[in-house]
Chain A
């Protein structure tokens, strides 16, 4: 991969206005596929969830999954879209081995939802309104695995394997109108937008919304134009951005790359680009033009989707609150400071903290656990906090043990590692491993006496008001009791002894 020349980010923004556009694919979590009765399940044995319809045997016909339509309508409504009274499917024709029919059943000029908008808050606190052009239904393709090459990509591979389990899984593609005015925060806005979409579909319960599994996929369009120019610049579409962080990085990279080219008088090639997380760079994919000829035409095997007003209204009535409203409510309920709350949002911790609080924890202690120890653990394991092997209920239990004085911070952290290792619930681990804080004065006094025997001057020092001298004894007691002593109580007992 040739190394791209990049312009300094601040300099790029001085010279150019950034315009972004985002296409987000949501994989719905319906029980069955979009057009057949096969299981919609991630991770099953390859080619086990297939039938004549999703592997496109001659004679097979599609039938629309009602639940998928309802989920799509819910997404559309949550994005403030109008719902089409007559949504038609269309065929997008192109040959590719992961596409069994060699056309994708999608929607073209009659999407199920259109004309919406979404308020998105970025880390700086600024709020942008993103216009949604459309949300349409389509089906996923199968999964290709390229064997024999060094890169795992099709180039250089000896052969490829196709798994059609994913073929026909329902997708909703949400397309924004061009987004202007984010300036230097365009990358953050792109990521914040996808985060909001994730929150929405998760809140609706229509998708598992796991980016690492491809439940939420984002293609980021980026173009630059000189400040003051009316005409939009040529855009690139970066694919394969599979985390919020990579969306931000990819947009930033494209801004710097395009700026360097344009500043030299070059022109941008309209193309698909691939994001490489490891290299932190995009590379050229296939050229793409507006004249890409997919020979769309109305799908003759499916009658139009005509949701009744009653159906639309009944779905609207069950919509959860909007993400922005929910945030306001939670911040109020929890009493977090502005910055604390923003950090929680940016770290994607709203859901887990909410669930932990619901399980009985105090908001602040839930926040401390998730944004501290657990965030570090997730980082070490290179996964999302929500995917750690610990539930909000377990975190709440841990917090209540600390609250009750049964665990001190150090012990609690230790218990946490055992929970993450799958040893059970915190209380079980505490009793199984005997980790409870020792607050039995008898045992403590014995340990204090043993420590004082080695440092007889300490009591005098305390009487003279030199409290720092107590530290040595407290440390010795803690060591003797392998950390299970309540340090506060040791100090109290020591002072009592000195003043006796």
Chain B
């Protein structure tokens, strides 16, 4: 394979800016890679090589003409299929949106286009981002490039597997309870959920509005930093987007210094239920941080115990309302029922046929949680837990500058293994969910391989709201120490995928 595709995004940026490689070459190399491996990995739901190459050629022309371009101009990227794009169908992994081409671009997509980044395609996800494995995608699961029989994480398994299989140097994900970080953890890649509001949600097909956040996916901390610097910023179209800038993430990622930083270890997110290899790698990283001059402190977040329960009330409640618009009237699937096609019956038949089982499960759950008589007992109680979890974080961040935990309790499980056990599936997100409930930023970076199965594990870094830069600073420093010990990047341990002629 072309060695262009194995390069970090930051290296490609340098080559592009120096004129050593053209955007068409870089884009074509990734398209070739997809043609070779995506039949096996199934990261993409849609690709249009012509539009990607046209953008690339345009950038090359403009660069040749001496135009001043964005730093990342010409660098191709993959976008999760729950962000609207005017030149590609946007399905959110659901049959109810099959073939729907939105009339507007998501703000993040507009920013990528303004930066001159060719969009390679739309990546797979669990239907409406509900899931931890992509197995709930209406278009079939994606596969983990480390072991094709295993899940690539979810919901953003398309975006994690696309960078892990070198089909894209960067990808956009969305994280509602771990949908960027869990896939990163199980595919040996980097994923960041920025502070709630740091990146505009306009054009992101909502799962749970108060929890959703768009973020970068890459193979390297600096690469994600470069991408967050492109997509972040206030957007008048999203009233929950932060008015202020959070500064340069790339600058933070280049500091490579943790001296004097207080790193808090969350007592409740380790031990029982966590795979031995996951814990072993975690403890090794704590030692590395300490050796680099960080102070390790233990913190307690007692209310995390209730996080999953609260999350699975707040999320379905918001989702049940967000998904009400899928009624066949203005866009998407329309199914005519047998007999008299009244509006109620057409809506019901469309939703019955268009939504998958996990979506229906959560709509029913959410509708119930909000109904009168249940509201206080369920939704109201969940909001209280949310406040308590925020307080846990406040207390923890009084003692520590960043917090760390394993990203997930286990390595990638086998496709089909947890499909019939929703509760077991929900437990994957035990360490990632609290950050969404509190609106704080979180990052997962590769943390070595578990000796029992040889699969990647991740370490999660959390920072107070608006302090995304700390993630990049600590993540960048730890990544550098890892790579010095390993002698190469973690992704370079991944087995070669069988390439189709």
Contact = CB atoms under 8 A, between A and B. Distances in A.
Nearest to A162: B329
B321 A91 contact: yes
A295 B365 CA distance: 13
B377 interface: no
Contact of B379 (A57, A97, A293, A297): A297
B321 A64 contact: no
Contacts of A301: 206, 209, 239-240
A52 B100 CA distance: 14
Interface string B332-352: 000000000001100100000
Interface in A95-117: 95, 97, 100-103
B202 A303 contact: no
Nearest to B212: A300
B324 A297 contact: no
Interface in A52-96: 52, 55-64, 91, 93, 95
B104 A300 contact: no
Interface in B85-143: 90, 92, 97, 100, 102-104, 106
A149 B201 CA distance: 43
A58 B102 contact: yes
B269 interface: no
A103 B237 contact: no
B429 to A, nearest CB: 19
Contacts of B201: 61
A35 B204 CA distance: 17
Contacts of B83: 59
B151 interface: no
Interface residues of A, number: 30
B318 interface: yes
Contact of B203 (A59, A100, A162, A302): A59
A48 interface: no
Top 4 A-B residue pairs of the complex, sorted by shortest distance between their CB atoms: A102-B324, A300-B210, A295-B370, A300-B209
Contact of B106 (A59, A63, A300, A302): A59
A62 B239 contact: yes
Contact of B347 (A61, A63, A95): A95
B371 interface: yes
B317 interface: yes
B164 to A, nearest CB: 27
Interface in B207-244: 208-210, 236-240
Nearest to B380: A297
A160 interface: yes
Contacts of B479: none
Contacts of A162: 329
Contact of B325 (A56, A62, A295, A303): A56
B205 interface: yes
Contacts of A60: 104, 202-203
Contacts of A64: 239
B327 interface: yes
Contacts of B209: 300-301
A291 interface: yes
Contact of A61 (B100, B238, B318): B238
B367 interface: yes
Nearest to B197: A303
Given A61-B237, A293-B371, A103 B343 contact: no
B102 A57 contact: yes
A95 B326 CA distance: 11
A381 B432 CA distance: 69
A60 B201 CA distance: 9
B84 interface: yes
A333 B390 CA distance: 63
A58 B83 CA distance: 9
Contacts of A297: 317-318, 321, 370, 375, 379
Main secondary structure of the interface of A (DSSP, over half): loop
B274 interface: no
B486 interface: no
A95 B202 contact: no
A58 B205 contact: yes
Contact of A100 (B202, B210, B239, B325): B325
B372 interface: yes
Given A55-B330, A297-B379, A61 B239 contact: yes
B371 A58 contact: no
Contacts of B206: 58-59, 301
Contact of A295 (B106, B329, B330, B367): B367
5 contacts: A57-B330, A58-B84, A63-B239, A103-B324, A300-B318
A59 B329 contact: no
A59 B325 contact: no
Nearest to A299: B209
B236 A59 contact: no
B90 A58 contact: yes
B321 A295 contact: yes
Contact of A101 (B204, B320, B324): B324
Nearest to B100: A58
Nearest to A35: B239
B329 A95 contact: no
Contacts of B371: 293, 295
Contacts of B82: 59
A59 B204 contact: yes
Contacts of B239: 61-64, 301-303
Contacts of B375: 295, 297
B325 A102 contact: yes
B202 A61 contact: yes
B382 to A, nearest CB: 11
A293 B82 CA distance: 30
B156 to A, nearest CB: 16
A100 B327 CA distance: 9
Nearest to B97: A58
A63 B329 contact: no
A349 B274 CA distance: 79
Contacts of B370: 93, 295-297
A57 B327 contact: no
A69 to B, nearest CB: 12
Contact of B329 (A97, A103, A291, A300): A97
Contact of A160 (B321, B324, B325, B343): B343
Nearest to B351: A95
Contacts of B330: 55-57, 100
A291 B325 CA distance: 24
A63 B97 CA distance: 25
Q: Which of B320, B325, B331, B372 has the most CB of A within 10 A?
A: B325
A141 to B, nearest CB: 13
A63 B331 contact: no
A57 B104 contact: yes
Given A100-B329, A293-B372, A295-B367, 13 more contacts: A59-B204, A59-B206, A63-B237, A93-B370, A100-B325, A291-B372, A295-B375, A296-B370, A297-B318, A297-B375, A300-B208, A301-B239, A303-B240
A57 B103 contact: yes
Contacts of B318: 297, 300
A103 B321 contact: yes
Contacts of A293: 371-372
A63 B236 contact: yes
A102 B202 CA distance: 19
A58 B206 CA distance: 7
A259 B414 CA distance: 71
Contacts of B202: 59-61
B378 to A, nearest CB: 11
B323 to A, nearest CB: 9
Interface in A250-307: 291, 293, 295-297, 300-303
A95 B237 contact: no
Contacts of B90: 58-59
A293 B375 CA distance: 11
A91 B202 CA distance: 19
Nearest to A93: B321
A103 B82 CA distance: 21
A58 B85 CA distance: 11
Interface string A296-323: 1100111100000000000000000000
